[in-house]
A and B are shown apart, each in its own frame.
Chain A
Amino acid sequence: MKIIKATNLVVEFPIYGMNGNRSFKKSLMNIATGGVLAKDAASRVVVRALNGLDFEFSEGDRVGLIGHNGSGKSTLLQVLAGIYEPSEGELTVDGKITSMLGITLGMDGEVTGLENIYLRGRLMGLDLVQINDLVESIAEFAGIGDYLHLPMRTYSSGMAMRLAFAIATSVKADIILMDEWLSVGDADFILKAKERLTNLVNNARLVVIASHDHSMIKDQCDTIVSMEHGKILSISKF
Chain B
Amino acid sequence: MYPLWWALAWQDIRQRYRRSVLGPFWITLSTGVMVSAMGPLYGALLGQDVGSYTQHLAVSLILWMFISGSINEAGAVFIGSEGYIKQVALPLSIYIYRMVARNLAMFMHNLVIIVIVLFFMPPANFSYIWLVPFGFCLVLGNLIWIIMLLGLISTRFRDIPQLVANLVQVAFFVSPIIWKAEMLTPKTRFVADFNPLYHFMEIIRAPLLGEPIQLLSWLVSGFLFIFGCTLTFYAFVRLRSRVPYWI
Contacts and interface: CB of A to CB of B under 8 A. Distances in A.
Interface of A: 13-14, 16, 22-25, 27, 78, 81-85, 97, 99, 101-102, 105-106, 108, 110-111, 118-119, 122-123, 127-128
B244 interface: yes
A123 B160 contact: no
A14 B15 CA distance: 34
Interface in B170-203: none
Given A83-B86, A105-B84, A24 B245 contact: no
Contacts of B1: 127-128
Interface in B78-104: 83-90
Contacts of B4: 122-123
B110 to A, nearest CB: 24
Contacts of A119: 7, 11
B30 interface: no
A78 B14 contact: no
Nearest to A122: B4
Most buried by A among B1, B89, B90, B163: B89
Contact of B157 (A22, A78, A122): A22
B87 A101 contact: yes
A213 B217 CA distance: 65
Interface in B1-33: 1, 4, 7-8, 11, 14-15, 18-19
A52 B86 CA distance: 22
Contact of B7 (A84, A85, A110, A122): A122
Given A13-B245, A22-B157, A85-B241, A123 B88 contact: yes
Contacts of B85: 83
Given A24-B157, A78-B86, A102-B83, 16 more contacts: A16-B246, A23-B157, A24-B159, A24-B160, A83-B244, A84-B244, A84-B245, A97-B89, A101-B87, A101-B88, A102-B87, A108-B15, A111-B14, A119-B7, A122-B7, A128-B1
Interface residues of B, number: 27
Nearest to B153: A24
11 contacts: A23-B158, A24-B157, A81-B88, A82-B89, A83-B89, A110-B18, A118-B7, A119-B7, A119-B11, A122-B7, A123-B90
B205 to A, nearest CB: 34
Main secondary structure of the interface of A (DSSP, over half): loop
A110 B19 CA distance: 9
B201 to A, nearest CB: 28
A99 B7 contact: no
Nearest to A99: B88
B227 to A, nearest CB: 22
Nearest to A101: B87
Contacts of A27: 157
Interface in B84-142: 84-90
Contacts of B241: 85
Contacts of A101: 87-88
A99 B163 CA distance: 38
A102 B81 CA distance: 14
A22 B83 contact: no
Contacts of A111: 11, 14
Given A105-B83, A119-B7, A81 B157 contact: no
Nearest to B86: A83
A106 B84 contact: yes
Contacts of B18: 110
